[in-house]
């Protein structure tokens, strides 16, 4: 347990896309954040996680992704901005269309979700260990994607600079 004053508790349901291309993985962040996450978002009530990921990627970068398979079902426990979260997430392997402008792994680009600008960047998988990535278990997970869905229970430490 931590000495940080906890403002509230939250249950969060999220879907995320794992896009690996030419030994790179696609991550995104908001300008206000000091960490990177997998692209995705929150499904609406009665929307499947797969459909939500397709819709989120269309909304954020106007691209129709292909959902390949479920990789992880993750229960992540973390503290952010003084609030505790229990997040349940579905992580799907996805791919961008062959003709996508965003497949150039050397280029960063921006996307939009409502009035929020999202920054996307391709990170080399062999350098991801040094990236401030949430949840932190992902820092070692991309080198060998599972052959079948894996249930992960993970606890991220409270916000710390550089972690």
3-state secondary structure 23-61: CEEEEEEECCCCCEECCEECCCCCCCHHHHHHHHHHHHH
The domains located in the chain, with CATH, are 8-155 (3.90.79.10)
Per-residue pLDDT of the chain (163 residues; tens, 9 = 90+): 445 555 589 999 999 999 999 999 999 999 888 899 999 999 999 999 999 999 999 999 999 999 999 999 999 999 888 889 999 999 999 999 999 989 888 788 999 888 999 999 999 999 999 999 999 999 999 989 999 999 999 998 765 544 4
The two three-digit tokens of residue 5, written as one number: 């004053």
pLDDT at residue number 155:
95
Helix (H, G, I), strand (E, B) or coil at 125: helix
User: CA–CA separation, 12 vs 136, rounded Å?
Assistant: 17
Q: Is 100 helix (H, G, I), strand (E, B) or coil?
A: coil
Q: How far is CA 112 from CA 20, 38, 39, 118, 159, in A?
A: 21, 15, 12, 6, 26
């Amino acid at each position: 347990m931590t000495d940080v004053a906890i403002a509230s508790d939250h249950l969060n349901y999220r879907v995320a896309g794992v896009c690996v291309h030419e030994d790179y993985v696609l991550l995104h962040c908001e300008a206000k954040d000091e960490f990177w996450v997998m692209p995705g978002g929150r499904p609406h009530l009665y929307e499947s996680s797969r459909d939500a990921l397709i819709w989120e990627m269309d909304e954020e970068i106007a691209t129709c992704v292909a959902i390949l398979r479920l990789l992880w079902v993750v229960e992540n426990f973390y503290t952010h901005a003084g609030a505790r979260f229990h997040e349940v997430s579905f992580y799907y392997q996805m791919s961008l269309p062959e003709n996508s402008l965003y497949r150039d792994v050397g280029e960063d680009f921006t996307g939009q979700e409502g009035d929020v600008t999202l920054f996307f960047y391709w990170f080399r998988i062999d350098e991801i260990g040094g990236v401030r990535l949430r949840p932190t278990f992902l820092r070692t997970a991309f080198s060998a994607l599972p052959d079948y869905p894996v249930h992960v229970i993970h606890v991220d430490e409270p916000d710390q600079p550089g972690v």
